[in-house]
Chains A and B, each alone.
Chain A
Amino acid sequence: MAGKTLFEKIWQAHVVEEVAGGPSILYIDRHLIHEVTSPQAFAGIEKRGVPLFRPDKTVATADHNVPTKNQHLPIKDPLSRSQVEALVSNCERHGVELYGLGHPYQGIVHVIGPELGITQPGMTIVCGDSHTSTHGAFGCIAFGIGTSEVEQVFSTQCILQSKPKTMRITVDGELQPGVGAKDIILHIIARLSTSGGTGYFVEFAGSAIRSLSMEGRMTVCNMSIEMGARGGMIAPDQTTFDYLQGRPFAPSGAAWQQKLDYWQTLYSDADAQFDKEVYFDAAEIEPMITYGTNPAMGVAVDKPLPAANGDQSFAKALDYMQFKPGEALLGKPVDYVFIGSCTNSRIEDLRQVAAIVKGRQKAPHVTAWIVPGSKQVEEQARQEGIDKILAEAGFELREPGCSACLAMNEDKIPAGKYCVSTSNRNFEGRQGPGARTLLASPATAAVAAITGKITDIRDFID
């Protein structure tokens, strides 16, 4: 009998029942919720008159719609305020643990789950947010769901899911200096397209993936959704266990050893079959940047844009960005730099930025925002003196939230302005109506802030 994939092992352990000719009933270990995609689901169960089935497996935070300045003051925008207040009262009424504004654990939902040890290998994790794929970095089946599905989990701790196909993406070899996790995933998406992963659950493997820190692995899994995949995952190893041990909600004592024994069984067997396999050579990956209006429109930062190809969507994207086919991006002026989002707002990202900007100044015309992923990240940055380094370089360290990643609150990039952003989506208007987003790594974003233009990190560090 052929071996099993990591995905298969976890999936099988969570199937309650298979529906004839239909999806499976999948049991969910952890349900993360936030203010934007939960109110209609709370309203739904109340209308049906069913209780929240397993409140102790649910955790809430406020992140999408919160200001990143003066969080101690009442939220100014009345609609945002009422949405955040609805989360507070819904959680109170249904007995859900809430790490809301002002709580030392508050932050972006995909940052706090891992850092609190709520995310653990072998789990099924869902959240009404597509970047739930982030948690797959720990060897979980984690994926984003819609609000109707949030209501399914509220009422039964299960959702109906059709089993996806499996794909393994292997990245072997050594990364060049200046190239990091964000470049790996932007490179992969540029090759596979925004729909290359649709219908699949992806496992990332290979020596280049193994060599990444947990933060880097989260960056990779985070963006697996941008190639259309249902989610991404990486088999847990010593890096994973070291990261988890001692976190507030990680198992401890005898429970730790018991869980560890289980976690060590979580890998794809040598003879496991995937529906699709793709290989990349790490040495070929260069610092990446996007030039268009979907995350697959990326190039190595020193390479020219593709030539015109008669495609209407391509032409529309370049027109929106005001770039010309075939031209080079290096040296193009930048107006904003945004370092944040669930892709790149962890302490390691902030440390990397601090190391680059230390003793330097941002270009005068650039507005540089750094938005930590959580209160804990913010606190740690202060303890390590990163806040001072950033302030001296002219960067503004704000309070945790999704911020300019999706421009739901007041953190918006003005129309027509160029923003080098460490977030995950460069869709038209994603960072504000008319805003032009170039996705890149924290390192590439940091050097763009210093020089005021698109810069190759490799020229900068040499």
Chain B
Amino acid sequence: MEAFRKIISKAAPLPLENIDTDQIIPARFLKATTRAGFGDNLFRDWRYDEQGNPQPDFILNKVHDAAILVAGKNFGCGSSREHAAWAIYDYGFRVVVSSFFADIFKNNALNNGLLPVQVSEAFLQELFDAIAADPEQLLEVDLEKQTIAVPGTGKSETFDINPYKKHCLLNGLDDIDFLLSKKAAIEAYERERALYGGIKQEVTP
């Protein structure tokens, strides 16, 4: 996983609530067995028409070099598909801002170096307004300080992040390395406290 510290970038606004993972990456694009290439189909059915022509009004067809996605409340609800986080990351985003994130999406994002920044409803509106006023508006997200700022308007807000996840993200470490280092404790748990054996173990032949 790539480390994340700070980013200054343009933002792509998507002021809709409850954007679900089926919109982020429709199921029919989940057939790959590798992690690469999902960005091409990010927001596929909003981005392209049935013939595959770009929909000129959709934001990703207007703004091409934003690394920050700003979306309405309850972003990433629906399925647990990590492909949603892969698609957003693969497309080039490094931060998603919303006033609320669905649980599994938030975890998936953090596990892939994509930073979910949860802001207040009011600040989210300020972001949308600032970007609407100037689509070239830059946002600054600083993980170390846990701040998101709009240098152009002078507004900023702090955001929360689990200290363990912050540490992982700042250092590009992942959970599996960490868990593997805990093997001894896990084996001790199995010996002393595990309640269930293997699938077939409880069945008397």
Contacts and interface: CB of A to CB of B under 8 A. Distances in A.
Interface in A246-266: 248-255, 259, 262
Contact of A146 (B16, B74, B108): B108
B175 interface: yes
Contact of A50 (B180, B190, B197, B199): B180
B202 A145 contact: no
Contacts of B196: 29-30, 57, 120, 123
B26 interface: yes
B122 interface: no
Contacts of B163: 21-22
Contacts of A40: 33-35, 82
B126 interface: no
Interface residues of B, number: 65
A294 B203 CA distance: 42
B198 A57 contact: yes
A25 B185 contact: yes
Interface string B179-205: 110110110011001111111111110
Contacts of B31: 36, 65, 77, 79-80, 82-83, 408
Interface in A379-436: 406-408, 415, 425, 427-430, 433-434
Interface in A33-75: 36-37, 39-40, 43-44, 48, 50, 54, 56-59, 64-65
Given A195-B77, A198-B102, A147 B82 contact: yes
A379 to B, nearest CB: 21
Contacts of B111: 146, 148-149
B72 interface: yes
Contacts of A160: 164, 175, 178-179
Contact of A22 (B20, B74, B162, B185): B162
A160 B111 CA distance: 11
B81 interface: yes
Nearest to B162: A22
Given A23-B164, A148-B111, A194 B77 contact: yes
Contacts of A152: 175-176, 179
A371 B22 CA distance: 22
A17 B192 CA distance: 14
B185 A430 contact: no
Contacts of B195: 13, 29, 122-123, 262
Interface string A2-27: 00000000000100110101110101
B104 interface: yes
Contacts of B4: none
Interface in B76-131: 77-83, 85, 100, 102-104, 107-108, 111-112
Contacts, number: 220
Contacts of B134: none
Nearest to A150: B82
B194 A294 contact: no
**Chain B's interface: helix, strand, loop or mixed, by majority?**
loop
Nearest to B17: A313
A56 B81 CA distance: 25
A347 interface: no
Nearest to B112: A148
Given A155-B180, A198-B103, A16 B26 contact: no
Contacts of B202: 249-252, 255, 259
Which of A43, A160, A194, A433 lies at the interface centre, i.e. has the most chain B CB atoms within 10 A of its CB? A160
A157 interface: yes
B45 interface: yes
A415 B49 CA distance: 12
Interface of B: 15-18, 20, 22-23, 26-28, 30-35, 45, 50, 72-74, 77-83, 85, 100, 102-104, 107-108, 111-112, 162-165, 174-176, 178-180, 182-183, 185-186, 189-190, 193-204
9 contacts: A13-B195, A21-B162, A22-B162, A118-B199, A406-B79, A408-B31, A425-B20, A425-B22, A433-B45
Given A13-B195, A129-B79, 5 more contacts: A16-B182, A27-B190, A29-B196, A313-B16, A313-B17
- 4 closest Cβ pairs, A-B complex: A22-B164, A56-B198, A146-B82, A39-B33
